[in-house]
Amino acid sequence: MKQLRIIVSSTRPGRIGPKVADWVAAQAPAGAWEVKVLDPSGLPFLDEEEHPKSGKYALPHTQQWASEIFESDAIVVVTPQYNRSFPAPIKNAVDMLFAEWDSKPIAIVGYGWSGGTDAAADLAKVLTHVKADVVGTTGLTFMQDLSPEGEVTATDERRGELAALLEALSSRVDDRESVSA
């Protein structure tokens, strides 16, 4: 079964990211994906002596994070929009690693008053720089798809967009597997 990891980007108290991540997880077809939600809130800011490109991770928290990302077949990043971009913890989580992101199929689900469009666009640039395979984005807009308390009431359009992203991730995983076979 394909391994899907969903990363929660926000670490602030009262965050709704875990609720959005759980909703995304529930949308993944059960027969296609084994889903695990990852919460990088316990990661300290980048504290390895070696540059991430070296792949020489000495600290247990970095080794664990690298293992989670490496062992996944695809990833969905769930990110709020803070000040027209994504929050610092997801940037840190990306910056801690390098090779583990290479060619990894990733989708982004933003959320906020404008659907997280700026956050998703900025995060896509960062992920592309570390050679991730960003397949696309969608966003949940407060009051239309999501309450400020985290209750997801997504429109059929948003559900369809997420379904298409999950299908794109699955296709990319299949493509990668056929190339390596």
How confident is the chain (181 residues) per 10-residue block, as mean pLDDT?
Answer: 96 94 96 95 94 95 97 98 94 97 98 95 98 97 96 95 97 85 61
User: Quick one: pLDDT at residue 92?
Assistant: 97
**146 DSSP β-pair partners:** 142, 152
**Which residues have C-beta within 8 Å of that of residue 106, sequence separation ≥ 6?**
74, 75, 76, 77, 127, 132, 133, 134, 135, 169
pLDDT of residue 181: 61
Q: Hey, is 147 helix, strand or coil?
A: coil
* Whole-structure pTM value: 0.96
Q: Which helix (H) or strand (E) holds 121?
A: helix 117-129
15: left (phi over 0), alpha (psi -120 to 50) or beta: beta
* Maximum CA extent, the chain: 47
- Smallest CA-to-CA distance from 111 within 140, 69, 82, 134 is with 140
| Strands annotated E in 66-158 | 74-80, 105-112, 133-141
How many Cβ atoms from other residues are within 10 Å of residue 53's Cβ? 10
Which run of H or E residues covers position 172?
Answer: helix 156-180
| Rounded Cα gap, residues 169 and 137, in angstroms | 11
Supply the pLDDT for residue 27.
96
CA distance linking residue 4 with residue 106, whole number of Å = 10
Residues 17, 8 contacting (CB under 8 angstroms): yes
| pLDDT at res. 59 | 97
* Angle at CA of residue 4, ends 164 and 150, nearest 5°: 75
Question: What confidence score (pLDDT) does residue 169 get?
Answer: 97
Residue 179 pLDDT: 75
Check residue 89 and give its pLDDT: 95
